[in-house]
Amino acid sequence: MGNKLELTWLGKEDEIKIEPRILIEDKEKSNCKNDFDTENMIIHGDNLLALKALEKKYSGQVKCIYIDPPYNTGSAFEHYDDNLEHSTWLSLMKPRLEILRNLLSDDGSIWISIDDDEGHYLKVLCDEVFGRNNFVATCIWQKIHSTKNDAKYLSNNHDLILLYSKKIDKLAINLLPRTEEMNSRYKNSDNDERGPWQSGDLVANEERANGYYDVISPISGKVFNVPSGKHWVYSEQNMKEMIKDNRIWFGKDGCSFPRKKRFLSEVKSGRKSNTIWLSNEVGHNQEAKREVISFNAESVFATPKPERLIERVLTLGSNEGDLVLDSFLGSGTTAAVAHKMGRKYIGIEMGDQAYTHCKVRLDKVIDGSDQGGISKSVDWQGGGAYKFYELAPSLINKDDFDEYVINKEYDADMLASAVALHEGFTYAPDSEIFWKQSKGNESSYLFVTTRHLNQSYLDSIKSTMEDGEYLIIACKSFENGLDRIYPNITIKKIPQMLLFRCEFDKDNYNLNIVNPPVYEDYEEEECDE
């Protein structure tokens, strides 16, 4: 290991060979009547398999990732002991974080909600996956706005949000909108046509050769100079020009010490975010639960996040039209907020919440009946679309004789698309030449067929190939020696060509997570003074 600093745990080196699955749209669950070409996606299925399914197409395309993984409070896993619990949780996170990093754009960011149970372990793991130099900040979210007086030690009212970049030198973090309170500091006491302004200091510490001169008020004629040991921040010539342009304020009577007029119209359009996010700004747990109750009162998700919190993340980490991803979608908050804010999104949820919460919530967003959360602040009236996907079953399973075979649920198109994904090709069937099913580069192709290949069939394909073209044929069987006839045609057998590349027929990598942690929320209960 040399000088490398990293977190180690039991099972860290165990390699997981994840099967790249194709995604199958469930058109009955999709809601895309407003936009049949929508790129918004909701995916139901194990999120590690789903991320793997997305990796090739979306590598480097996601501008902002927000995830809210299980917090591992001690109740999240079905079977654990004190030595294995942390190892199990870290093994859950590591392969997911590695794919998420691949999906991030170079100027993108990932935001991870966590608490103190695993937060510091997660920080070290993220240092390893993303690079310690790509750590940006830890944000503190006030999740509970009241105090629990019966807490054993301290009343815990915050969560952490770890922020990492893909490449810190290319990271783009936006400003937050200016507040009304900030803008209210700007007045227009002299009716300046440039609008409201506030005054700022014209004096700096230390002496400067050209920073010591007389300033004369054009109103009163009073002469001003800087105190000993200080200097004017502008040269004498610049100061005269600013006075002429009415950018220096001498008070209403012209006798006050000069100050610079800073116009509201000329200041930055926003403000830097602090790392402490108060509940009055971004919401709290009770607010989040009320938002879920509005569309599913019978099954309130255990630990939802308020829409205002996700709005803060997406405001800082993305712009309209950018792609946002949440691979622990839960009650669908990230997708709902991204939808209302004009972002494209991909949401992944492994549980039934994909049907009972995510879909239901987004349908209400689209028809405009969801007026909770940030709807009123962004004037949401409805619209937009999404497509709903299921993970395809495993491509290969075992038959009654314990032999590996192609899954019978796969039709010809599914098989061709799946093999293309395994081979790193893009499935895009040519409308004229049947064997040009999938494309690798400008001159390489993949053709998948379940027929038995003979020489006459191969000759017919060869006769339509142009010089410089290269073809891989994946088939169930072929005549002996057929794979040695043409140097620019490679023949492979399925499923044998795929067997050792990954784990097949495994649909669940959730490590037996059965009970996500539930946090009590408290009504206003302030400490006695």
Indicate which CATH number applies to the domain containing 344: 3.40.50.150
Q: Which residues of 121-152 are buried (b: 16+ CB within 10 A; e: fewer)?
A: bbbebbbbbbeeebbbeebbbbbbbbebeeee
Same domain, 165 and 192: no
Residue 162: the pLDDT is: 98
What 3-state DSSP class applies to 41? strand
The H or E element that residue 291 is part of is helix 285-293
Residue whose token pair is 């959360």:
373
Which parts of 46-118 fold into alpha helices (H)? 47-58, 85-103
Number of structural domains the chain divides into = 3
CB contact set of 373 (below 8 Å; sequence gap of 6+):
291, 306, 307, 308, 333, 336, 337, 340
Given CA atoms 263, 266, 269, 271 in this order, what sign does their dihedral have? negative
Same domain, 53 and 130: yes
Given CA atoms 124, 128, 129, 130 in this order, what sign does their dihedral have? positive
Q: What are phi and psi of 241, to 5 degrees?
A: -65, -40
Same domain, 105 and 62: yes
- Residue 374 inside a domain? The answer is yes
Residue 276: the pLDDT is: 97
Contact 34, 519 (CB under 8 A): no
Domain span at 246:
180-266
Same domain, 423 and 347: no
Strand ranges across the sheet with 135-142 = 23-25, 387-391, 41-44, 344-349, 323-326, 62-67, 104-114, 158-165, 135-142, 276-277
The whole-angstrom separation of Cα 211 and Cα 321 is: 48
Residue 529: the pLDDT is: 34
Contact 283, 307 (CB under 8 A): yes
Residue whose token pair is 């919460």:
357
Q: Which residues pair with 303 in a beta bridge?
A: none
> Cα dist. 350→104, 336, 373, 482 in Å?
21, 17, 24, 44
Of 234, 266, 298, the residue that ends a domain is: 266
Same domain, 262 and 203: yes
- Residue 524 inside a domain? The answer is no
- Residue 347 inside a domain? The answer is yes
Same domain, 371 and 402: no
CA nearest to 378, candidates 455, 452, 315: 315
Same domain, 173 and 184: no
CA nearest to 419, candidates 10, 19, 7: 19
Same domain, 350 and 234: no
The whole-angstrom separation of Cα 347 and Cα 206 is: 56
Amino acid at 95: P
Contact 244, 215 (CB under 8 A): no
- Residue 17 inside a domain? The answer is no
Contact 202, 236 (CB under 8 A): no
- Residue 514 inside a domain? The answer is no
The whole-angstrom distance between residue 508's C-alpha and the CA centroid of its chain comes to: 23
- Residue 21 inside a domain? The answer is no
Residue 83: the pLDDT is: 43
The whole-angstrom separation of Cα 262 and Cα 260 is: 6
Residue 519: the pLDDT is: 43
**DSSP β-ladder status, 62-67 and 104-114:** parallel
Same domain, 64 and 157: yes
pLDDT by residue, tens only, the chain of 529 residues: 445 678 888 888 888 899 999 999 999 999 999 999 999 999 999 999 999 999 999 999 999 999 998 876 655 544 444 444 778 888 889 999 999 999 999 999 999 999 988 899 999 999 999 999 999 999 999 999 888 888 889 988 999 999 999 999 999 899 999 888 888 999 999 999 999 999 999 999 877 778 889 999 999 999 999 888 899 999 999 999 999 999 999 999 999 999 999 999 888 788 999 999 999 999 999 999 999 999 887 776 667 899 999 999 999 999 999 999 999 999 999 999 999 999 999 999 998 999 999 999 999 999 999 999 999 999 999 999 999 999 999 999 999 899 999 999 999 999 999 999 999 999 999 999 999 999 998 899 999 999 999 999 999 999 999 999 999 999 999 999 999 999 999 999 999 999 999 999 998 887 555 544 444 444 444 433 3
Residue 354 DSSP class: I
Q: What is the domain-level CATH number for residue 456?
A: 3.40.1350
Of 239, 266, 293, the residue that ends a domain is: 266
Residue 215 DSSP class: E
Amino acid at 477: S
Contact 313, 111 (CB under 8 A): yes
Strand ranges across the sheet with 470-475 = 426-427, 438-439, 444-448, 470-475, 489-493
Same domain, 159 and 193: no
Q: Would you state the torsion angle of the CA atoms of residues 85, 88, 89, 91, taken in this order, to the nearest 10 degrees?
A: 160
The whole-angstrom separation of Cα 18 and Cα 409 is: 20
- Residue 466 inside a domain? The answer is yes
- Residue 322 inside a domain? The answer is yes
Cis (ω within 30 of 0) for the bond into 487? no
Same domain, 262 and 276: no
pTM as predicted: 0.85
The whole-angstrom separation of Cα 497 and Cα 415 is: 14
Residue 208: the pLDDT is: 77
**DSSP β-ladder status, 223-224 and 41-44:** unpaired
Residue 130: the pLDDT is: 97
The whole-angstrom distance between residue 475's C-alpha and the CA centroid of its chain comes to: 39
Same domain, 159 and 45: yes
